[in-house]
Amino acid sequence: MNNRNSALVSFAALAVIAVAPLLPVPARADDVPVAVAANFAGPMKEIAATFAGATGHHAVVSTGATGALAAQVANGAPFEVFLAADATTPARLEKDGLAVPGTRHAYALGRLVLWSAQEGAVDTAGAVLKSGDFAHLALANPKLAPYGAAAVETLEKLGLRTALEPRFVLGENIGQAFQFVGSGNAELGFVALSQVWRDGRFTSGSGWIVPAALHAPLQQDAVLLARGADHAAARALLEFLHGEKAQAIMRSYGYEPAVEAVGAVAR
Contacts with another protein, 175-214, as mask; x by CB under 8 A: -x--xx--xxxx----------------------------
Instruction: Output the smallest distance, CB 114 to another protein, in A.
Output: 17
Instruction: Output the smallest distance, CB 85 to another protein, in A.
Output: 14
Question: In whole angstroms, what is the distance from residue 222 CA to residue 36 CA?
Answer: 9
Characterize 93-105 residue by residue with b for buried, 16 or more Cβ atoms within 10 angstroms of its Cβ, and e for exposed: bbeeebbbeebbb
Question: In whole angstroms, what is the distance from residue 267 CA to residue 261 CA?
Answer: 15
Q: Which of 106, 170, 210, 236 binds another protein (CB under 8 A)?
A: 170
* CA nearest neighbour of 210 among 163, 139, 155: 155
User: Contact between 38 and another protein (CB under 8 A)?
Assistant: no
User: Contact between 169 and another protein (CB under 8 A)?
Assistant: yes
To 10 degrees, the CA torsion angle through 35, 153, 140, 207?
Answer: -100
3-state helix vs strand vs coil in the chain, percent to 5:
45, 20, 35
* CA nearest neighbour of 44 among 197, 266, 246: 246
3-state secondary structure of 98: coil
**DSSP 8-state assignment for residue 99:** B
Q: Which is nearer to another protein, 31 or 172 (CB)?
A: 172
Instruction: Output the smallest distance, CB 153 to another protein, in A.
Output: 17
Q: Which of 39, 141, 195, 206 binds another protein (CB under 8 A)?
A: 141
Instruction: Output the smallest distance, CB 24 to another protein, in A.
Output: 28
Contacts with another protein, 64-83, as mask; x by CB under 8 A: ---x----------------
Instruction: Output the smallest distance, CB 185 to another protein, in A.
Output: 4
Instruction: Output the smallest distance, CB 121 to another protein, in A.
Output: 12
Q: List C-alpha distances in Å: 33 to 44, 194, 227.
A: 13, 23, 10
Residue span binding another protein (CB under 8 A) among the ranges 96-104, 136-144, 156-164, 241-249:
136-144
> Contact positions toward another protein, by CB under 8 A?
67, 136, 138, 141, 143-144, 168-172, 176, 179-180, 183-186
